[in-house]
Amino acid sequence: MRSLRQAARRRDALAAPVVVYFAVFLVYPTLYALQLAFTDSLTQAFPSTENFRTLWRDQLFWRAVLGNLIIPLLSVAVELVIGLALAIFLSVRFPGRRLLRAIVIIPFALPEIVFLTMMRYVFAPRGYANAALLALGGQPVEWLLPGRVATFLTVVAVDAWHVTPVVFLMLLAALSAIPEEISEAGQLDGARGLARVFFITLPLLRPALLAAVMLRGLDALRVFATPLVLTGVEGVPVLSTYAYHQWSDYGNDGAAAAAATLLALLSVVLTLPLLRRQRAGLAPGAGVGSA
């Protein structure tokens, strides 16, 4: 019994720093943000829904909600398609494969602010993108002009370009874990090219694909720096930049906390179905049925 109590004390001592960390940097800020969100900024009444009514009447807020739904959806879709294509291509042995893998990872290896500053120069009115268009005989494009579809798509492309290496590495690792005997058996049965990808590779990659969607989907919902650096607060608004706008430009802590609360709620609501699907995909026998 004494040894068990000593082991329990050691376990509690090891867990204590983690508990303190979460209490100080997660639990307390979350509770404080909820208090701000439900406190009337003028009368200090609590609980109050005045901050949420303020958001309801703000057209920029609804643009931010729309951006927070569309940007992650398009960005994750692009990352999955390109990441999967790169993983399949670079899983084949050929000269220079390691060099190409290193080149693919470079965008993610760069610090985010450095990468985004480079992208501002690329898509500036006299930047590299327009220089390439002019060299090909085309016309310059206002890539980052607020309120344009091209601006929205540019933000999606830059966000996907920066984070696609994460999806690529996850899927490449999953591909490396597939036994070669399965591919060889598929070839003997006549599965070649796209048929092998759709009927052998993709079903075996299902857990990795679900994990990539969940990881990147949750992260993409918190997109902040990309639209803020490229277009400013109102160019391509999302909930995180809208909350920052309310806090930094208007000093409205309550509205900022309300927007952040809605963003957290949106993240939970959209993540729960993915968690259920991943759990179902990892259940015993699920892989056999899907294959």
pLDDT tens-place string over residues 175-189: 888 776 666 665 655
Dump pLDDT digits (tens) for 71-105: 999 999 999 999 999 988 888 888 888 888 888 88
CA atoms within 13 A on the CB side of 14: 6
What does pTM read for this prediction? 0.80
- Report the alpha-carbon distance of residue 108 to residue 213 in Å, rounded: 17
Domains contained in the chain, CATH given: 65-282 (1.10.3720.10)
Q: Is the dihedral of CA 218, 224, 67, 167 positive or negative?
A: negative
- Report the alpha-carbon distance of residue 143 to residue 125 in Å, rounded: 7
SS3 of the chain: the string is CHHHHHHHHHHHHHHHHHHHHHHHHHHHHHHHHHHHHCCCCCCCCCCCCHHHHHHHCCHHHHHHHHHHHHHHHHHHHHHHHHHHHHHHHHCCCCCCHHHHHHHHHHHHHCCHHHHHHHHHHHCCCCCHHHHHHHHCCCCCCCCCCCCCHHHHHHHHHHHHHHHHHHHHHHHHHHHHCCCHHHHHHHHHCCCCCHHHHHHHHHHHCHHHHHHHHHHHHHHHHCCCHHHHHHHCCCCCCCHHHHHHHHHHCCCCHHHHHHHHHHHHHHHHHHHHHHHHHHHHHCCCCHHHHHC
pLDDT in tens, the chain (291 residues): 666 676 667 776 777 777 777 777 777 788 888 888 888 877 778 888 888 888 898 899 999 999 999 999 999 999 999 999 998 888 888 888 888 888 888 888 888 888 999 999 899 888 899 999 998 888 888 888 887 888 999 999 999 999 999 999 999 888 888 776 666 665 655 556 666 667 677 778 888 888 888 888 888 888 899 999 998 888 889 999 999 988 888 888 888 999 989 988 888 887 777 666 656 655 544 443 343
Q: Which residues of 146-168 are buried (b: 16+ CB within 10 A; e: fewer)?
A: eebeebbebbbbbbbbbbbbbbb
What is residue 16's predicted lDDT score, i.e. its pLDDT? 75
What is residue 191's predicted lDDT score, i.e. its pLDDT? 57
